[in-house]
Structure 1
Amino acid sequence: MSLLQVEHLTMQFGGLTAVKDFNLNLEKGEIVALIGPNGAGKTTAFNMITGVYRPTQGRVILMDKDITGLRPDLITGRGIARTFQNIRLFRDLSVLENVLIANHLHLKSNFLTAILKLPAYRGEERLMHQKSLALLERVGLSQFKDEKASSLPYGLQRRLEIARALATGPRILLLDEPAAGMNPKEAADLTVFIKEIRAEYDLTIFMIEHHMDVVMGISERIYVLDYGVTIASGSPHEIQNDPRVIEAYLGVEEDA
């Protein structure tokens, strides 16, 4: 049984069709990539899955539940977390505060108990603090916990954004160009990191990425979009040898 099914998703903006009839199946534990040139509709597909856009047509099914068009916070609460192509951290808050905010998704205390700081709320607050520190330790950011998020090097800001997504307790993690702006060493380290968190947090990962070394080195399956239409899907080997992909996206000769 698929963990996530995307059926015939279509997104129109006026007379422009950004994504047409997009279909996707994610099985538990997979790492699946979505590739294509700028403007192909990749982030639009992410936005429909995560509730940023309500699809013009189609459905998003998470564990047999239709979540099409739910608010992003409700979708996150059901187990889908994401990062963004342009890093969206709370730049003036500390590294620890960024992760703590994500942990608030799981608060059971109501507004009154929080305002009055009743024992139940204080207990939850302590637990969130402990979990956030443990997560920062795991992702290698604990030494920066009191630093402003904006003061981190670019690669560590990317890692913090992933840590914040992990703090929501996702089943599925959507990564929008996680290696963007990274040098080859940083991209290689990120590949190892993604494989590690997949195993440790029992994740299914769906990612958009332009770094072909990352895509081919980490993905079990790949989907390719061209002007909003899926032109190919398959294993990395199949995608590397698909003439349409070779010509339009990888930018290499067919015998490379």
Structure 2
Amino acid sequence: MDKLKRVSVYIFLSVAAFISIFPFLWMIVSATNSSSDVTQGRLLPGSKLIENINNLFSSVDIVPALMNSAKISISTTLLAMLIASLAGYGFEIYKSKAKDIVFTILLLSMMIPFAAIMVPLYQMFAGISSSVPFLGLDTLSGVVLPTMTTAFLIFFFRQNTKMFPKELLEAGRIDGLNELALFFRIYVPTMKTTYAAAGIITFMSSWNNYLWPLIVLQSPDKRTIPMLISNLGSSYTPDYGMIMMAIVISTIPTALVFFLMQRHFVAGMTGSVK
């Protein structure tokens, strides 16, 4: 009976893994085929890989789009790590009833969909554009500021901080460290797995963000990679082989970030503190 149960589990996991991996395999295979082969559902590798790469780099400015996405994603991730960890640390280490009320309101904000605040957010940045141009519309800063941290990240850091050994802070205070030194010299190194998990989540979310950059960025030279891929697909006769090649290239940075930090990501998501 145990053997039958184990076989059933393996079959289920194999099917689930195939369903999860198949879209990526199809994407990679399609990047080697012509547009007609992709539309016909060809599942075998073709001979159009070099041609698709040449067409992509010759017809669109993919490198500037990649650089714009990189600037936005890296800036957003670094700011999110700093702000969310400081907030989560403060909410957990320096508890009070007033802070708990603020934290509850912060969590309630997670229930508000982005579509509900999109128009007033646009109006706010449109107003900023006249007085502070580098923070308004059609700027990379305008994309970063509203997304540089979230209520979920603050909640994530606070929950992980519950497992942080408070004795280390007391030992640091005895040694004469101030509160900022306690945070940067004791808390940050100890919570590196939490930072890794939060960093991966934030980077992937920022890299794949489409709606807000589409609203804010109006100049063609400031397009991000999701915007560029969307434009490729909206042409009158889209070249699906070239589009799949663009998608493969856009997936490489997030895949590298995840696989390089996979071990820390798993430890951070399970609440491990080292």
Whose RCO is larger (CA < 8 A, sep 6+)?
Answer: 2
Category of TM-score, reference length = shorter chain? under 0.3
Give the strand-richer structure, 1 or 2: 1
Give the helix-richer structure, 1 or 2: 2
Q: TM-score, normalised by structure 1?
A: 0.27
Q: TM-score, normalised by structure 2?
A: 0.26
